[in-house]
């Protein structure tokens, strides 16, 4: 973040097939992640789980931990690896939710007068052991970051901010309805919009990126189907012709030659389309494969 940056205001929600559910910690009970090892937990582990849960509840009840709050800062050093080396910064942290037996936490060290503010996304064991920590991108004062759980399996991190045009192209993201180029930034090539990152969590709690550097044509009608993972809930709101168009655009993006003459004629008229292959399986990204499976399922349901 630059020196004018304030705390990232993060919107945390859970996107599922039936809609969005709150991912905030339920204080009324310990999280589902403790129900491991066939429901049996060693007494020592149970106490550690309670201690970690108590710490997260303390964090949820406060907008931040001030750098002078010795009690909570000391607790933070137990769970957050960088607390001891980032002294003098306030700390903001929230639990996002649980995925399998892992607890997902966002935390940020910040100082209104510093340019070294840093935000992290962490995967923790039920007892609070950090299994993998991801340092998030720096964003400006006007920007924000969101962390979502998509369809109960994928971690989505989105950044809305000012970016150089090359950054959008490198990250494969150009969404016609979700970005705009301000007149005063045209010469510098600065664009305001979203960049997305996607991760899976393996059995050891390690984050594995599935984001790929795929160039997405801005001229497509639905470029988002190649740029980000679409949830069932938003796809269900679309008419069948949009579902079919999205599916075909993913294939056409990679030069697929359609056997259906009518569809082929449609894409032959697009200046971004070039007919190259009768089989594009090897070129389709992980994100596109996820979206294709959903689009094909919905197409069969109509």
What number does CATH give the domain 230-302?
1.20.58.1690
Q: What is the DSSP string of 31-50?
A: -GGG--STT---HHHHHHHH
Domain residue spans of the chain = 11-211, 230-302
- Could you give the dihedral angle defined by the CA atoms of residues 33, 81, 204 and 24, in that order, rounded to the nearest 10 degrees? 30
Model's pTM, two decimal places? 0.74
Please give the chain's pLDDT, 302 residues, in tens.
433 333 343 344 333 333 333 333 333 344 444 444 444 445 558 889 999 999 898 888 877 776 567 777 788 888 987 765 566 678 888 998 888 789 999 998 877 666 667 889 999 999 999 999 999 988 877 788 899 888 777 899 988 877 766 655 555 454 433 444 444 445 556 767 778 889 999 989 999 998 876 667 778 899 888 888 998 888 999 999 999 999 999 999 999 999 999 999 999 999 999 999 999 999 999 999 999 999 999 999 98
CA distance 40 to 42: 7
């Amino acid at each position: 973040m630059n020196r004018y940056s304030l705390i990232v205001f993060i919107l945390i929600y859970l996107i599922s097939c039936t809609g969005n559910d709150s991912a905030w910690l339920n204080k009324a009970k310990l999280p589902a992640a403790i129900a491991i090892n066939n429901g049996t937990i060693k007494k020592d582990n149970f106490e550690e789980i309670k201690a970690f849960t108590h710490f997260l509840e303390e964090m949820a009840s406060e907008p931040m931990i001030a750098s002078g709050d010795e009690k909570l800062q000391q607790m933070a050093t137990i769970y957050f690896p960088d607390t001891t080396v980032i002294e003098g910064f306030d700390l903001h942290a929230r639990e996002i939710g649980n995925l399998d037996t892992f607890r997902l936490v966002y935390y940020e060290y910040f100082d209104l007068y510093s340019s070294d503010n840093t935000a992290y996304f962490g995967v923790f064991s039920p007892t609070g052991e950090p299994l993998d920590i991801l340092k998030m991108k720096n964003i400006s004062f006007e920007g924000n970051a969101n962390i979502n759980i998509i369809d109960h399996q994928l971690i989505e991190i989105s950044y809305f901010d000012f970016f150089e045009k090359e950054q959008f192209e490198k990250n494969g993201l150009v969404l016609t309805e979700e970005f705009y180029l301000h007149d005063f930034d045209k010469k510098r090539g600065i664009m305001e919009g979203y960049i997305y990152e996607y991760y899976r969590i393996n059995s050891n709690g390690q984050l594995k990126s599935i984001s790929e550097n795929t160039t997405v044509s801005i001229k497509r009608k639905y470029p988002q189907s190649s740029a980000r993972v679409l949830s069932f809930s938003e796809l269900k709101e679309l008419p069948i012709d949009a579902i079919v168009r999205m599916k075909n655009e993913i294939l056409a993006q990679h030069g697929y030659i359609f056997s259906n003459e009518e569809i082929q004629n449609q894409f032959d008229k697009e200046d971004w389309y070039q007919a190259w292959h009768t089989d594009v399986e090897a070129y389709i990204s992980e994100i596109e494969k996820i979206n294709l499976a959903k689009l094909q399922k919905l197409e069969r349901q109509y």
